A and B are shown apart, each in its own frame.
Chain A
Amino acid sequence: MNATALIKHTQAESNLLDRYQSSKDGLAGSIAVSELREAAVEQIRDRGLPHRRVEEYKYSDLRAFMKSAAPLAAAADEAVAKAILADQNSYGDLERYQVVTINGVFAPDLSDVDGLTGEGVVISDFNSALKGEAGAQLLRSPKSAANDGVIALNTAFVQGGVVISLAAGVEVSKPVELVQIATSEGAQVSRTKVTLGEGSKLRLLETFAGETGNGELNAVFDYDIADKASLATTRLIAGKVDAARLFTTIATIAGEAEFKSLGFMAGPKFARNQQFIEFTGEHSEAKIYGVTMAGGEDLADQTLIVDHAVPNCNSREFFKTVLDGRAKGVYQGRINVAQHAQKTDGEMMTQALLLSEEAEMANKPELEIFADDVICAHGATSGQIDEDLLFYLRARGIPEDEARTLLVLAFLSEAIEEYGEDDVTDGLEERVRDWLAGH
């Protein structure tokens, strides 16, 4: 607290430091948690928001983007939340459980707690857990990004969230949709902790609804996947939003386990979906998919580090990006293979489709391999709609706009189909169409 700042603070940084002073007494946590929060604020004070001279944020300068920082969103308004919940319905008729947070805070009354309890899932309030003895463990950082600026922002201000725990062997029969609702303007800072016991199985849907005004949304998801467990998560980042949307995945995967995720992004002005995935047990598999659309002046960033810290694991990374207008797409993906992580199989591909001359894609797939007996590959492509394909469709009577839509859908569907989870991804086609029609 006594250190003099090393940098000249921007308006947003000053706002954030003020925000911390004015809200810290209301933020939950044990003494150890408070210390973590203080350290995180210290980091913001010393280094500021992450900016383009920080390698990981080279293409996504959050410091330049955030002109100011709103206060944290006020207390939850359940009536408003109910209306938003009824209205948003991201998954139509899909049979699912819902778990709701309002302005970052768990709302048990709007959640299917009974149903989930019946299935053997324990749902609890993140804040209560944060106050407990093991509270600080809920705020772990990924090994591969110990001082990440977005995670620091989350740690400093996290308002609440949900803890979802599956005991060994629990297989949830329906997907669980975690709906994070904003009922008032202001920053929304949440954290979700998901613990999968041995052999358990969960399909998670992550959706976000409501307006945050000029407040940033910062959501961290921390998945702890035990041996033989399986987790599939679909993250839906949609809607035209002017404030920064920041998403972080931290995943540790034990032995013979499966992790699969799809990050779907369309609409926000500035969105970053960063994922830090670490294999901690052998013979496991991670499949990470990204489907990104950006138009206008949007920036959409998919950042990923997969740590093959142990031998005999497979990972697949497949990202598709469609850009229009003067939008900028970013893919930074790195597969790390530790020296003893023999027999690693990693296959990373990032492909961009540029619908305009001025759109720009920064594709940066990387392999960092220290083991000698591995199969790893990466590739990146960037191109326009193939005029011959377009002509073929038009020659069959399909008008140009519809033909383009079909080709964009075809491009994106490769990743969506490989992800699978057909019942969940059914509605994505409609979202792509909506985006194409209205971005």
Chain B
Amino acid sequence: MLEIKNLHARIAEDETEILRGVDLTVNAGEVHAIMGPNGSGKSTLSYVLAGKDDYEITEGEVLFNGENMLDMDPDERAAAGMFLAFQYPIEIPGVATMEFLKTAMNAQRKARGEDVLSIPDFMKRVKAAASHLNVSMDMLKRPLNVGFSGGEKKRAEILQMSLLEPKLCVLDETDSGLDIDALRVVSDGVNKLRSPERAMVVITHYQRLLDHIVPDVVHVLSKGKIVKTGDKDLALDLEKHGYAEYIDTAA
């Protein structure tokens, strides 16, 4: 589903290289976890996948279901099934959450040549997803993410993900800021979306999340490169011993 080959990316503004040759293949049905120290480039990788133009690709390629993803606009990538749950979801005052959800869902459907949703159908889907994720309808009446607590913002991201039904879900530290109960609710929400047709990349610092969302593969990203790949036990090992060992190998 996702093939990243020797990806190099730098910050467009000052040309600082952040990703220094990332290789990663994620197949449909798999869940990959990416761990790594602060500043190693995890969020940058997720932004590059989503199409943020703060970054310049200097080398390498990204194929999404065989197509060159780097040529696509962010909205085209979304319509093709790419979804990024942001590490820091943005507040957008003046844009009503429901209006936003409807616009996003229908824009993707239009781009794929599908019919737009009727209002009742749309409402039904939102209500169902919201109740699964413990998101109150009250929250959805507010402008997008405005005044949401840290944890509420993360839940709202997963709500969007469930409604948009993407093929590739990239979750950037979705666990940070969640209380213990919310972590379970969100993880359940994510697990419900696991399917043989869908792939997930879960960026996290903590083993705790991976107890709930059990990964097939775990990677360590350090200084813009994947320096170690293993199974779910790698996360346990990292939890105990930290990154020191792997970072040294990278140097």
Q: What is A's interface to B at a CB cutoff of 8 Å?
A: 388-389, 391-400, 402-403, 406-407, 409-411, 413-414
Contact A397:B95 (CB < 8 A) given known A389-B90, A402-B103: no
Q: Is the CB of B104 within 8 A of A410?
A: no
B75 interface neighbour in A397, A407, A413, Cβ under 8 Å: A397
What would 22 A/B residue contacts be, using CB atoms closer than 8 Å?
A388-B90, A391-B51, A391-B52, A393-B92, A393-B100, A393-B104, A395-B50, A396-B78, A396-B107, A396-B108, A397-B75, A397-B78, A397-B107, A397-B111, A398-B103, A398-B104, A402-B103, A407-B92, A409-B94, A410-B93, A410-B95, A410-B143
Q: Is A406 in contact with B52, judged by CB distance below 8 angstroms?
A: no
The distance from the CB of A31 to the nearest CB of chain B, in whole angstroms, is: 54
Which of B52, B74, B89, B105 has the most A CB atoms < 10 Å from its CB?
A: B74
Interface of chain A, main secondary structure: helix
Nearest-neighbour CB distance to chain B for A393, whole angstroms, equals: 8
Which B positions have Cβ atoms within 8 angstroms of A?
Answer: 50-53, 73-75, 77-79, 84, 86, 89-90, 92-95, 100, 103-105, 107-108, 111, 143, 160, 164
What chain A residues lie within 8 Å of B164 (beta carbons)?
396-397
Across-interface contacts of B108 in A (CB, < 8 A): 396-397
Residue of A nearest to B108 (CB): A397
Distance of A403 Cα from B74 Cα, bound (Å): 12
The CA-CA distance from A409 to B84 in the complex, in Å, is 25
A255–B50 alpha-carbon span in the complex (Å): 58
Q: List the B side residues contacting A396 at CB < 8 Å.
A: 75, 78, 100, 104, 107-108, 160, 164
Cα distance A210–B95 when bound, in Å?
34
Task: Report how far A357 CA is from B95 CA in the complex, Å.
Answer: 25
Q: Knowing that A394-B75, A406-B95 are A-B contacts, what are 6 other residue pairs whose CB atoms are under 8 Å apart, sorted by A's residue number?
A: A392-B86, A395-B50, A397-B78, A397-B108, A400-B73, A409-B94
The answer, among B73, B89, B103, for a CB contact under 8 Å with A406, is B103
Whether B160 pairs with A389 at a CB distance below 8 angstroms is: no
> A394, A407, A414: which contacts B74 (Cβ < 8 A)?
A394
CB distance from B130 to the nearest CB of A (A): 17
Q: CA A407 – CA B91 in complex, angstroms?
A: 12
Q: Which of A402, A411, A413 contacts B107 (CB 8 A)?
A: A402
Q: Which residue of chain B is the closest to A392 with respect to CB atoms?
A: B90
